[in-house]
Amino acid sequence: MTAEIHHCKECVDLLGEYIEGTLPPDRAKALEDHLSLCPPCITFVRTYKATRKLCHHALVRDMPRELMHSLSSFLAERVPGFKRSEDETVAAPAADSEPKKV
């Protein structure tokens, strides 16, 4: 038996886990049922998601290339056989993508 969500506060409390997809299915269903009846909470969800998106866009930083070079030089002097990378721009997963699981 799924416990219903009657109040917005409970909806807001569960939002973090809901948008990351980690909320148990019965609670997610209860939250969606509440959203279907509560325009203020729909607005709240939209602005909560937009907050993440805007902050990510404004604050994302990648490692400066000069720092990669200096780190590589530092380690090459101290680790036997350490090879400086020819192309240090070969990207690991970048931070300039959107936050996942939104």
Partner 1 sequence: MLYGRAPLPEIHEITPEEPRADGQPGDRELVEKAQKGDGAAFAMLVERHQRQLYRLALRMTGSEADAQEVLQEAFLNAYQKLPLFRGEAQFSSWLYRIAANSALMRLRRKRRAPDALADQPLELAGPKFSAEGYLEPTSSSDWSQRADERMMSGQLGAAINKAVDELPEDYRTVFLLKDVDGLSNEDIATALDLTIPAVKSRLHRARLALREKLGEFFDEPAK
Task: Work out how close the CB of 58 gets to partner 1 at its nearest, in angstroms, rounded to a whole number.
Answer: 4
CA–CA dist 87, 75 (Å, integer): 16
For residues 69-81, one letter each, b for 16 or more C-beta atoms within 10 angstroms of the residue's C-beta and e for the rest, the string is eeeeeeeeeeeee
The contact pattern for partner 1, residues 25-44, with x = CB under 8 A and - = no contact, is --------------xxx-xx
Q: How far is CA 92 from the centre of its chain?
A: 17
Q: Which residue among 21, 37, 51, 69 contacts partner 1 (CB under 8 A)?
A: 51
Residues that bind partner 1 (CB under 8 A): 6-10, 12-13, 15-17, 39-41, 43-44, 46-64, 67-68, 70-72, 74-75, 78-85, 88, 90-95, 97, 99-100
